[in-house]
Amino acid sequence: MSNTSSEIRYQVRDLIEYATALFAAAGCDGDKPAAIAAGLVEADLLGHTTHGLQLAPTYLGELESGGMIPRGEPEVVADRGATVTWDGRRLPGVWLTAKAVDLAVERAPTYGVATIVIRRSHHIGCLAAFLQRATDRGLMITIASSDPAVASVAPFGGRKAVFTPDPFAVGIPTDADPILIDISASITTNGMAGRLRREGKTFPGAWALDAAGAPTDDPNALFSDPPGSLLPLGGAEYGHKGFGLALMVEALTQGLSGFGRAEAPTQWGASVFVQVIDPTAFGGRDAFQHETGWLANACRDSPPVPGVDAVRVPGQRGLAHKKRALAEGVVLYPGIADALAPHATRLRVTPPRPIGA
Amino acid sequence: MSNTSSEIRYQVRDLIEYATALFAAAGCDGDKPAAIAAGLVEADLLGHTTHGLQLAPTYLGELESGGMIPRGEPEVVADRGATVTWDGRRLPGVWLTAKAVDLAVERAPTYGVATIVIRRSHHIGCLAAFLQRATDRGLMITIASSDPAVASVAPFGGRKAVFTPDPFAVGIPTDADPILIDISASITTNGMAGRLRREGKTFPGAWALDAAGAPTDDPNALFSDPPGSLLPLGGAEYGHKGFGLALMVEALTQGLSGFGRAEAPTQWGASVFVQVIDPTAFGGRDAFQHETGWLANACRDSPPVPGVDAVRVPGQRGLAHKKRALAEGVVLYPGIADALAPHATRLRVTPPRPIGA
């Protein structure tokens, strides 16, 4: 993203302060407003613009309607030390997930591997935004999430959706910058389909099926009646691979937490899996970072295919984006500031002034 | 596979006995011959014909040359209860992996999650062949493997290979048959490329790059000088997803075990990750199997796309193949019996007679 004079930029701390004030005014208690604000803005810093502050108006709407619960703690369903299960009680998912990651980070050095699952969380935002809480401490982390109330991705060979995109993110520390992976079991996401539809654009390939089961690049296929579906990773050609990933994510999230599609929930939410691994318990932290650092460099050193400048390791672009945003300010994706404005008015919170305004 | 009169079938127990006798005569001690034989034949039963007895002649060649060590135990590098690290000392990987899975199965009920990594294993065969050792006991399992001595898969955007296909398998118990997932971070595998090349066939799509970085369906591109590479899952279109999976698998296997590409090994082998999860430690076994069983049924109930009879859940075809093979005998993929014959002669082991011969 180039810094042209027509772009409206905000200081990062101003955006976090703004979002914190909005969620506090909306009734969230304790450290929830700050945690939600930090998680959403972190997504924007990393360039995940569909899962940053773009979600804030919807979250504020959920708080207003009672779909998201603003106060209290998760219920502990089970705690064996290395493994913890929470009932999230539809509390804010960004806050719950940050809290789960921090608990797993705290426990991983004791047990080697710490695993935390959450049933009935509300939406958790951008998975990549939580990774550095672990990688900054030399720990490897995996986060997976699914929403048992929503189905938009078809199983391979089928045309009726069963899964959500079922994202999972992996943070891998190295001897330099961490590797930050954020992918999903489907080729694309609901959020991207909605954005392309609003903007009158198509997918770059046949990433969806229409209701009859024919591959299509038209995001409108997802919104027909009956609706089409998103294709699993691998598409019509080798989508059994994405199908396998979706089953894995749904088993880790809904299966382990014991709350999922079998309960036919209707409210927007998430089942969540967090696992933090301490390499010290295995072959050692230095050995781990030596291997992963070597690997990241080998990837960067692979000569690029025609049309590509250089191989980028996952997270490399996001971390560069974040560094620049912290120094020069954040450009919000078009429409976000306008969507927040009515909530700011309703909640009597003053929006931040852009840099130079 | 239909049972026609021209097919040569073997009793499963005869094949296991044959392979056991071969590995015993080749010098493997203790339970190694039986474990290797059972693991390889299990792959054939599940229909993974590139990773069953087809590997036996190569393993026997490695034992003859000293590349695979026939006797002794792995060295325990670390053992914290929930986490274990072994140096496999280039012992037979099929035996090592079965042993690691059984240890993780034994420990998972105590710790909730048990994780075992192995450095310097020899090749571990078919990952799917180990899954039912866990799922039969109501446990979820993940196995991942990479070979730091081999590079055939390019990072997304690059044209020089860095990774192996980096397979990972996931076994998910349900309230009926288990879900058995066996996929890789690349679209296809080295084994499949070699087989298609020998048979003069092409990939079903542009699943590889030639040495110049152009997508191709020609498996010969992998064998040119300089060689081309296999594309990560997602190919030229969205291969950043397969790239992410490859980094995840290499971090779990080489990173955690502390032995990988940074050491520039030259001998055929594997770094291995095994994790077994006991749902009892989380939301409960019944809740888990209720969710996963519901999910498997929802997938089977998704109406099929044109040209497909019905959606099949991963493992469904393999388990049906195994059931039939146990009842009616196994048809070995062409060439396997002939490739084993010289080893049988050398080691003075009598090959089994086909059924009806």
Percentage of the residues of chain A whose pLDDT score is greater than 90: 93
Q: Which B-chain residues 278-307 have CB contacts (< 8 A) with chain A? A: 279, 281-284, 287-288, 290-292, 294-296, 298-299, 301-306
Top residue of A241, A276, A297 to mutate, by most chain B CBs within 10 Å, is: A241
Average pLDDT value for residue range B107-124: 98
Chain B nearest C-alpha distance from A169 (Å)? 9
Percentage of the residues of chain B whose pLDDT score is greater than 90: 93
Residue B253 reports pLDDT greater than 70: yes
Q: B325 to each of B53, B132, B329, how far by Cα in Å? A: 15, 17, 5
Phi and psi (nearest 5°) for A135? -65, -30
- In this predicted structure, which of A4-13, A114-123, B317-326 has the lowest mean pLDDT? A4-13
User: Partners of A105 in the beta sheet?
Assistant: none
Q: Is the pLDDT of residue B1 over 60?
A: no
pLDDT confidence of residue B50: 84
Q: What HEC string does A97-119 produce?
A: HHHHHHHHHHHHHHHCEEEEEEE
Dihedral of CA atoms A299, A300, A302, A307 in degrees, nearest 10, equals: 120
Q: What is the mean pLDDT of residues A167-174?
A: 98
Beta strands in chain A (DSSP E): 9-10, 75-79, 83-87, 113-121, 140-146, 167-172, 179-184, 208-209, 215-216, 229-230, 270-277, 330-331
A94 touches chain B (CB under 8 A): no
DSSP code of B251? Answer: I
Q: Which two tokens stand for residue B98?
A: 């079965």
Cα first-last separation, chain A: 20
- Asked if B85 contacts B43 with a C-beta cutoff of 8 angstroms, the reply is no
* CB contact set of B94 (below 8 Å; sequence gap of 6+): B35, B36, B39, B40, B123, B124, B125, B129
- How wide is the angle at C-alpha A100 spanned by C-alphas A190 and B294, nearest 5°? 55
Instruction: Report A:37-76 residues touching B (Cβ under 8 A).
Output: none
Report pLDDT digits (tens) over B331-351: 988 889 999 999 999 999 999
Q: Give B185→chain A minimum CA distance, Å.
A: 9
Question: Given an 8 Å threshold on Cβ–Cβ distance, is B258 in contact with A287?
Answer: yes
Residue B66 CA, chain-centre distance (Å), reads 23
Distances (CA, A) of B243 to A243, A280, A296, A303, B157: 18, 26, 11, 15, 9
3-class DSSP state of B87: strand
| Sheet order of strands, A229-230 included | A215-216, A208-209, A229-230
Q: Give B41-69 as a DSSP string.
A: HHHHHTT-TTSSGGGHHHHHHHHHHTSS-
Min Cα distance B259 → chain A (Å) is 7
Per-residue b or e along B336-346, where b marks 16 or more CB atoms closer than 10 Å to that residue's CB: bbeebeebbee
Q: Over pLDDT 70: what percentage of chain A?
A: 98
Buried b (16+ CB within 10 A) or exposed e, A60-82: bebbeeebbbbeeebeebbebeb
Helices (H), chain B: 12-25, 32-45, 56-65, 93-111, 132-135, 190-198, 235-238, 240-250, 256-257, 285-301, 316-328, 336-347
A140 in contact with B, Cβ within 8 Å: yes
The mean pLDDT value of chain A amounts to 95
Helix, strand, coil shares of chain A, percent, nearest 5, are 45, 15, 40
Q: In angstroms, rounded to a whole number, what is the distance separating the alpha carbons of residues B252 and B258?
A: 10
Q: Which residue of B has its CA nearest to A306?
A: B213
Give me the pLDDT at residue A267, please. 92
DSSP track, A257-314: HT-SGGG---SS-EEEEEEEE-GGGTT-HHHHHHHHHHHHHHHHHSPBPTT-S----T
Cβ separation of B261 and A295 shorter than 8 Å?
A: yes
What local confidence, expressed as pLDDT, does residue A143 receive?
98
Q: How far apart are CA A279 and CA A287, in angstroms?
A: 8
Mean pLDDT across B136-156: 97
Task: With a cut of 70, say whether residue B268 has pLDDT above it.
Answer: yes
Chain B contact present for A205, CB below 8 A: yes
Q: How far apart are CA A126 and CA A39, in angstroms?
A: 8
Q: Give yes or no for A203 touching B (CB within 8 A).
A: no
Q: Residue B5: pLDDT band by 50, 70, 90 thresholds?
A: very low
Judged by DSSP in three states, A124 sits in coil
Pairing of strands A113-121, A83-87: parallel
Q: Is the pLDDT of residue A1 over 60?
A: no
Higher pLDDT, A190 or B354: B354
Contact, A232 vs A242, CB < 8 A? yes
Find chain B residues with C-beta within 8 A of A308's C-beta.
157-158
Whether the ω angle into residue A342 lies within 30 degrees of 0, i.e. cis, is: no
Nearest-CA residue of chain A relative to B187?
Answer: A238
Q: What is the pLDDT of residue A189?
A: 86
Q: Could you tell me what percent of chain B has a pLDDT over 70?
A: 98
**Mean of pLDDT values over B296-320:** 97
Q: Closest Cα of chain A to B86: distance in Å?
A: 9
Reported as a single tens digit per residue, the pLDDT across B188-218 is 988 889 889 999 999 999 999 999 999 999 9
Q: How far is B181 from chain A (nearest CA, A)?
A: 6
pLDDT at A6: 58
- CA-based nearest residue to A168, from B256, B248, B255, B140: B248
Q: What is the pLDDT of residues B270-297, one digit of tens each?
A: 999 999 999 999 999 999 999 999 999 9
Residue B6's pLDDT is what? 58
Query: What average pLDDT does this structure show over B4-28?
Result: 90
Q: How many inter-chain contacts (A to B, CB under 8 Å) are there?
A: 308
Looking at chain B, which residue has its C-alpha nearest residue A244? B181
List domains and CATH numbers for chain A. Answer: 74-291 (3.30.1370.60)
User: In this complex, which of B142, B247, B302 lies closest to A160 when CB atoms are compared?
Assistant: B302
pLDDT (tens digit per residue) in A278-320: 999 999 999 999 999 999 999 999 999 999 999 999 999 999 9
CA angle B282, B299, B170 (to 5 degrees): 50
**Token representation of residue A186:** 């489907």
Question: What is the value of ipTM here, to two decimals?
Answer: 0.96
Asked if B104 and B72 count as a contact pair (C-beta separation under 8 A), the reply is no
Per DSSP, B257 falls in state H
- Within 8 A by CB and 6+ apart from B345, the residues are none
Decide if B342 touches A, using CB distance below 8 A: no
For B232-256, what is the mean pLDDT? 97
